[in-house]
Amino acid sequence: MTETLHRLVYYSRNHTSGEDAVFSAHIDDILAKSRINNTRDQITGALLFNAGCFAQVLEGPLPNIEAAFERIQQDDRHGDVSLLALDPIDTRSFPNWAMGFVGTSSVDAERFADIGSSSGFDPSRLSGDQIYTLLRNLTIEEEADA
Ligand SMILES: Cc1cc2nc3c(=O)[nH]c(=O)nc-3n(C[C@H](O)[C@H](O)[C@H](O)COP(=O)(O)O)c2cc1C
């Protein structure tokens, strides 16, 4: 029997501060670790970040995403980790992404501005569904460009 797939969405406050280079190094490290661990754990998903916050979607077998979320919550590079959604799903929305990311490019900044107008530039006001939809649309566009 195959295990039930689940999708988890959370939001957190970015605690990495400092110069762009330091911030980039943290992001590179997070993505590198995530891709190794998530490939091992059959987890796919995407990470959205800016200087103030992270939002992430994880999808995979429930015990695996729960274990990953435990580790993620212990990470002091962010805080105020808020679980927004944890639901069973039929199929993966990020099948090709051990961890896709949407970050600081100018194109993304413009997109963020759009979301900002409805959320006061604060993604913590977005629901799990909105974050999921946003990340799915952005990664689909990335795939189209690739
Ligand atoms: C915003 C953020 C997102 C993260 N996402 C993941 C993830 O998707 N998968 C993962 O294994 N670790 C993720 N991490 C890293 C974990 O918190 C932790 O550093 C890592 O799992 C430790 O891996 P290790 O036990 O192999 O050293 C994330 C960390 C942060 C701050």
Q: What is the pLDDT of residues 131-142, one digit of tens each?
A: 898 888 877 777
Q: Are 58 and 68 spatial neighbours (Cβ–Cβ below 8 Å)?
A: yes
What CATH number corresponds to the domain at position 112? 3.30.70.100
Q: Are 15 and 49 spatial neighbours (Cβ–Cβ below 8 Å)?
A: no
Q: Which residues span the domain enclosing 98?
A: 5-145
Q: Which numbered atom of ligand 1 lies nearest the CA of 37?
A: 11
Q: What is the dihedral of CA 42, 9, 114, 80, to 10 degrees?
A: -120
Strands 44-49 and 53-61: antiparallel
Mean of the per-residue pLDDT values of the chain:
83
Q: Residue 54 carries which DSSP code?
A: E
What's the CA-to-centroid distance between 108 and ligand 1, angstroms?
Answer: 23
The Cα–Cα gap between 71 and 79 comes to 13
Gyration radius (Cα) of the chain, Å? 14
Residue 5 confidence (pLDDT) above 80: yes
Q: What is the dihedral of CA 104, 34, 39, 90, to 10 degrees?
A: -70
Q: What is the pLDDT of residues 51-67, one digit of tens each?
A: 788 899 999 999 999 99
Total structural domains in the chain? Answer: 1
Residue 110 confidence (pLDDT) above 60: no
Helix axes 20-40, 62-74, angle to 10 degrees: 150
DSSP-based three-state secondary structure for 91: coil
Query: Among 56, 71, 94, which residue has the most ligand 1 atoms within 8 Å of its CB, making it the best to mutate?
Result: 71
